[in-house]
Every structure is written in structure tokens, then in C-alpha cells.
Structure 1
């Protein structure tokens, strides 16, 4: 018992130190945790801190459950459902290309249908943590394509719930076709039941958890999450999907913000144990046998991501730089790929799945930040013919190609030639601006009263147009850029 505690403490401490070192050089934490598990596990020569990885199974399972629960709690359902059609098309293209390529690779490797489906998911779902971290570190949060990247990541998370439900009967090894259909219906039935609970039962869950004391809220929350995850596992659905869905339920309660704050440190600690535990199951001798498939998988992922980036840029009228930014920012794979591999290992699938996903995640964890930081060089190889943007890569940066609020450009002309607010106040103006959302005419920022900006701050109508004779430029207050429309859309004013 003492040896087990010493080994666990030592390997978690080393994982934390490795992650801290990795962060200094811009690497994500997940591969660092996994690498420490591999290096100090029983499958690698040298010191071994945990002889039997199965001893950490319960802690690792708790890490998986809390990781997916937190994802569900912070999932912006309203934002996703309110997104434009183009965003769903872009996300569908990204997911479709990557999952299809992963499925084709899985069948080409000849490892079996179940393994192919796991590989499809591992290759098809990017790491939201890595992508978000890259956007922050590369200072691209204000780029025009960034809301699209974040939207694709969020829709991917939603897709994960359905994919896990689809995968559950496959991993359960349903015998006949009838058994498979029954298991599939049970999985999706459980999913629908939790969706219904999120829609109509959030108040009851809030009453169950509600307390002013954070200590009691944390205990009640963990108990509920583990219970639902266990029930999900009992009915043949992954504990991961149970945790994700109960997180969606909690996200619709008034306790959402408190729960997010309380679960975050628990998630980080136990998720680290989950990734370390995954690394402990990897025998370093097995990595050589999957090296060639991993190289192929990485190349395939790079091609599909760049293709999806170009398609998305074309949909939104972006230029080459934005296309490569999109494709390379979401290149990293991490927590979700490892979750799928863990489920595959637990289901007794081909033993090569674990080493394959481990090496694949490690390679992309290193490659994604390096390639994303150099996206401007890759942009030069994207032909103008593939995009609808009038603005060539060499002529402009992504921040000035298009804004994300052009769907609110409803008014393009007016007969008003005065700032009525200035007249009412007895003031004067320099130039006039037209609010393209509601048609208000107000004075510019060079005028004493700056009524146009005040209108934006009060009403949040984003785009104005100059009414100065000979000037037809438009400006977005939100993105703080001149609005340049994508090719194929003509102005009516």
C-alpha cells in the first residue's frame, strides 16, 4: 500500500513537472502526462513507479468522467443552435473529411471494423484544449476566422456525444444484427432521455444540488456525475457519454457557474491521472510496429485539415492566410482520441490501437503548434482559384478580409442628411454615419458628441457605413476592421 502511494505520488509529480516544462516551450499538457506514463511504466526499461496500471483504473475512470462532465457544463448550446448555416456546413465538412479518412485508413490497415471506427473517431475529432491554447498564444483571438474555428470545435464536441452513442454497441460486441440494433437503440434512447432531462428536468436537478456551501455542492455534484456515468455503463453506454450529458443538464441550471469553478481543479487532477494511466499501458516496444501507419495517419490528417480549411475559407470569403490558420489550428489531437483508445482497449480490441493512438497524438502535439505558427508560409501555396476572396494573401491579413457580422447589414441607403441628435442638442457634426442594422444616421467619431459610437454602445448594432460623398466604406465596431465583402456578394446600396 505504501509503495503504491509512493509510486502514484512520484509519477503524478513528475508529470506535473514535465507539463510545466512543456508549457514553457508551447506544448500542451496532455502529451506530457502521457509521455511520463510511458517512460515510467512497466512497458519501458528503467525505473517503474506503477507496476500494475489496472490499479489506477478507478481513478482514471473518474478523470474521464469529470473531463467529459466539465465539457458538458461549459457547452454553449444556445450559441451553437443560433449559429449560421455556413458554420454547420463548415463543421460538417471538417468532421466528414477527417472521420471518413480515418475510417478508410482503419480498413486499409486491416485491423477490423470495430478498430476502424475507433481510428475514425481518433483521427476525426481535434483537441479543443490544444486549439484554444494556440489561438491565445499566437494572438489570433481577434482574427476574422477565429469565431469559425471556435464554432467548429464546439460542434465537434456535440458530434462526440452521438459518436460515442454509436460506438457503444460496437465496443460491447453485439452478436447478431438484431442485438446490435437493440444495443444501438438503447444507446440513443439513453441519449434522448438525457437530452429530455436537460430540456425539462434542469430545475429538478438544480433543486437536488442546490446548497450555499461549496463543499456540499462539490460532494453532491460528484456523486450525481459518478452515479449517472455508472448507470450509463450499466445499460451498455459509455460512462463518458453519461458524464457529458449530465453536464449538459447542469449547464441549464442556475448553478452552472459555481459548478464550473468547483469541478475545474478536480477535473485537472483526475484527468492527469487518466492520461498518465493511458501512458502506463503502452509498451514502448509496440511503437515501432505502428510507426508507418502513424506517419500515414499524420499525413492524411494534414491533407484533410487543409482541405477543410480551404472549403471553410471559401464559404466565408476568407483569404489564404485564414484558410491555413483554420486548417492548422485544429490539427492537434489529444484528449478525445485517447478516450476512444481507452474505450477500445477496455473492450479488448486489437492491442495495436493503444500504441497507434499514443504515437499519433504525440506526433501531432509537437507538429500542430509548429505548423500553426508558420501558417503564413503555407498560405502561399493556396491558389486564388480555390477561394472566393478578392483579397490576395500578399495584399492583406485575415483581420481585414471580412467580418463576422455582415448578416446584420440590413439597411444600405438613406435620404437623411443630418444628425437629428445633434440638432436636438444644439450641436454640430463633422461627418455622418449610417447604422446598417436599423438605419439610424448619426455623427462620426470626429464630431463632438460621437453619436454613432454611442448608438453602437447602447444597441450593439455592429456595422456603420460612411455617408460622406464619394466614400462607401463600411466599418465593424465589434471586429474593429473595415468591412470588405466576399466575392460573389454585391452591395445593394
Structure 2
């Protein structure tokens, strides 16, 4: 009887997620907020709390986090990461300063303490790679000049996760300063070792894992990932970081084949993860934190826009491309929930989970909108301000003035925000 109830519940969850995903696709919308709302509906204090399948959903959620980080690691090679570190680290520092500090300050103002401040800093800092990648594809901007800048910031955030997650794990476990330092040293040593091995022996590792048989490739890669993730978690480094490093170590045809094979599994278990997070958030706990979440969302949306604008300007992208870069980075999603989920599991601050849920729901909805409309809105406001501020002057024939052609007809002269500089020109990505 118990197994029958489990199958009914879990089957209903998967079917519901599929229907929600289809609805999100028709609306050209990220399904993440719908998955979170589904979890809220069937969790503690929801419409119909689950019982028999909750433990299995918890295991599936953990696998979902591991697969998210594995697939993210597959997107990058070790040489790409090293190159990004060398050239784009100033953008990473600006990103951290502008977006992590608001979360930390908000937690302290709410009286949650230093550990919760570090956690909420991570929630507001990390953009959603999954949502942003989908938005770039949907808007046809993969070839724009600002896109490499966006991807570089995302890569730096992902790299920072390899250091940040072990710190969070140690803080949430309540270990001493010395033990936390040891944990961080182990994490850095493991990450550095994997990068070194991937740079020097990546082809050998990929050749060892490689197989023409899709079934064998799937089993070897999935088994290796879960094994490394388990060992990493046993060392208190973080299972997610272990999975990320496995993805980095694989390259070439193996990475491409693994990506194709594991994408459906990742989508399934990642959806289960978002539902699981919602299951452990009481809907009644969200209204009290809705206003702080909204204020924090508005502030960090602006700081992300400023981050993208500054980074694109530093890279020589024109004004339009700068605004597009900033607007695209606004979305938060899977990693913010992963970080908040660690704190919720540890029981650090009861209100942190609801606030993170509301915060992500707001920005995962706003993110695609800012990506689409930040640039035209900024251009319209700038044009209106310029028009109202500039006095009407008469220009004698044959005399040129800034922004006016030599004939004095008022035709704007192309500036640095034209197609090539703004990022409208394709093929530079």
C-alpha cells in the first residue's frame, strides 16, 4: 500500500512538472518560479502536503544539485577558466562587491547574525546561469559583442562557488575557525589539483571515460560524478563543487556526448530540487518577508545592471550593449536556491528560506524582462533627457556641430553605440 501511494504521489509530481514546464515554454518564461510555487502548494502548510514520496524527493533534489553543477562544469574547459581568471577578475570583484554586500547588510539589519549574512550575500550575488543562457538563446544574442562579457562574469561566479560553498558548509556545521580553515584549504587544494590535472591530462581522462556506447558512457560519467561528489561531501568540501570539478575535467567529444545524455536527467532532477525547496517553505511564512524581499530584489537588480554595464564598458562594448549586458545579468535562480537550501537544512534562520524563495520568484520573473527591455528603456530615457536638456541652437550653413551633420540638417552622426560597438553586430562572440 505504501509503495502504491508513493508511485501515485511521485507520478503526480512528475506529471505536474511536465505540464508546468510546457506552460512556461508557451509563455516564453522560465519554469523555475512555477516549480517553486508547486512546492509551496504541496509542502508544509500547503494545499495538499505530501507524505510517502517526500524522502525520495529529498534524494532526487540532492542529485539535481549535483547534475546542475556537473553540466555547468562541462560548459568550460580548464584553459577557459584560467583565461577568464586572468582577464576578467576585475569584473568579478565588482560583481561581488555590488551584489553580495546588499544581501549581507540586509541580513544584519534583520538581526539574523553573521552566518546568515554570509548565506544571504551568496543568494544575492550569484546570477542564474540556466535562466540567462536560455534568455540569450531566446533573444538571439549569442553572437552579440556583450555576450562574452556576460559569460565571463557567470564563469567567475561559478569558480567562486568552488571556494564559497566549502566556507558556507563549514559555517553552517558550526566548526571552529581552525577546522574551517582546514576545510577551505582542502577545497582550494582539490580545486587547484583538478584544474592542474585537467590542463595537463584532460585528454587522457576523457579518453579513459570515452565510449562509443551511450549506455556505458552514461553509467561511467554518472557513477564517477556521484562518487566524487560523495567523497567531496565526506571531506566537507561540498558535493556540488566535486561535481563541478568532474565536469571541468572532461572535455572534447566526451563532454559533448555527456551533455546530450545527461541533459534530460538534469532537467528532471533539477525540477525536483526546486519542488523540494518549496516543500520545506511554509506559504504562510512568505507574506511577512515579502517587503524585504522586494526591496532587496530592486536594489540587487540595479546593482547587477551596474555590474554588467561596467564590465561591458571595460571590454569596449558600446552603450546599447552595456545596457543589454546589465539587464541580462539580473535573473537569480538555481544557485541562490542551492545556497539558501543549505541554510534551511542546517536550521540557521527560519525566515531565510521564505525570503530567498520570494526573492528568487521576483527576480526570476523580472530577469527576462530586464534582459529584453533594459536597453530600449535606457535609450529612450537618455534620448528624452538629452532632448529636454539641450537648448535649440541655430547652426550656420557649412558649420558642423556635435551630433549634427555638416549640412546643418539635424541628422545625427553615428556614434560609438552603433552596431559594432553596441553589440548588435553578430559574429564577435
Compute the TM-score of the two structures, normalised by the length of structure 2.
0.84
Answer whether contact 2:40 2:283 (CA < 8 A) is retained: yes
| Secondary structure of the structure 1 residue equivalent to 2:45 | coil
Query: What is the match of residue 434 of structure 1?
Result: none
Per-residue Cα deviation, 1:361-418 (whole angstroms, up to 9, x for no partner): 111111122233222113444689xxxxx999996795525278xxxxxxxxxxxxxx
Partner residue, 1:143:
144
1:41 is aligned to: 43
Q: 1:345 & 1:190 partners in 2: Cα distance? A: 27
Q: CA deviation at 1:477?
A: 9.1
Paired residues of 2:107 and 2:117 also in contact (CA < 8 A): yes
Task: Give the match for residue 306 of structure 1.
Answer: 305
Contact 1:37 1:276 in 2 (8 A): yes
Q: 1:38 to 1:84 in 2, by over 3 A?
A: closer
Describe the shift of the 1:143–1:207 C-alpha distance in structure 2 as closer, same or farther (beyond 3 A): closer
User: Whole-Å Cα distance in 2 between the matches of residues 55 and 380 of structure 1?
Assistant: 51
- Asked if structure 1 preserves the Cα contact closer than 8 Å seen for 2:166 and 2:236, the reply is no
> Aligned runs of 1:2-41 on 2, under 5 Å?
2-41=4-43
Change beyond 3 A, Cα 1:391–1:14: farther
Query: Higher relative contact order by CA 8 Å / sep ≥ 6: 1 or 2?
Result: 2
Counterparts of 1:98 and 1:142, CA distance in 2 = 27
Equivalent residue, structure 1, for 2:407: none
Alpha-carbon offset, residue 80 of structure 1? 4.4
1:93 maps to 2:94: yes
> What is the CA–CA distance in structure 2 between the aligned matches of 1:190 and 1:303, rounded to whole Å?
35
Can you give the 5+ residue segments of structure 2 that lack an aligned partner in the other structure? 387-401, 405-411
CA distance in 1, matches of 2:186, 2:421: 45
- Residue 266 of structure 2 corresponds to 267
Instruction: Write the mapping of 1:113-262 to structure 2, written as runs, cut at 5 A.
Output: 113-175=114-176, 177-202=177-202, 205-206=205-206, 208-251=208-251, 255-262=254-261
Mapped to 2, the partners of 1:399 and 1:149 lie a distance apart of 20
Q: Paired residue for 2:421?
A: 402
Query: Who is 2:276 aligned against?
Result: 277
Q: Provide the C-alpha distance between the structure 1 equivalents of 2:85 and 2:237, rounded to a whole number of angstroms.
A: 32
Which whole-Å CA distance do the structure 2 matches of 1:18 and 1:294 have between them?
Answer: 24
| Match runs of 1:343-354 below 5 Å | 343-354=342-353
> Any idea what SS the aligned residue of 1:282 has?
coil
Q: CA deviation at 1:43?
A: 2.5
| 1:184/1:159 CA distance change after superposition, 3 Å | closer
- Distance across 1 between alignment mates of 2:417 and 2:37: 36
**Per-residue deviation at 1:190?**
3.0
Cα distance between partner residues in 2 of 1:259 and 1:170? 34
Give the secondary-structure state (helix, strand or coil) at the position aligned to 1:255: helix
More helix by share: 2
**TM-score of the aligned structures, taking structure 1 as reference length:** 0.74
Counterpart contact for 1:169–1:187, Cα < 8 Å: no
Counterpart position of 1:418? none
TM-fit CA distance, 1:319: 4.2
What root-mean-square deviation, in Å, do the aligned CA atoms of Structure 1 and Structure 2 show?
2.9
| Aligned residue-pair number | 401
Counterpart in the other structure of 2:314 = 315
Gaps in structure 1 of 5+ consecutive residues: 385-389, 405-475, 481-493
SS where residue 26 of structure 1 aligns? Answer: coil
Given the superposition, is the C-alpha separation of residues 355 and 391 from structure 1 closer, same or farther in structure 2, using an over 3 Å criterion?
farther
State the alpha-carbon separation in 2 of the partners of residues 206 and 320 from structure 1: 42
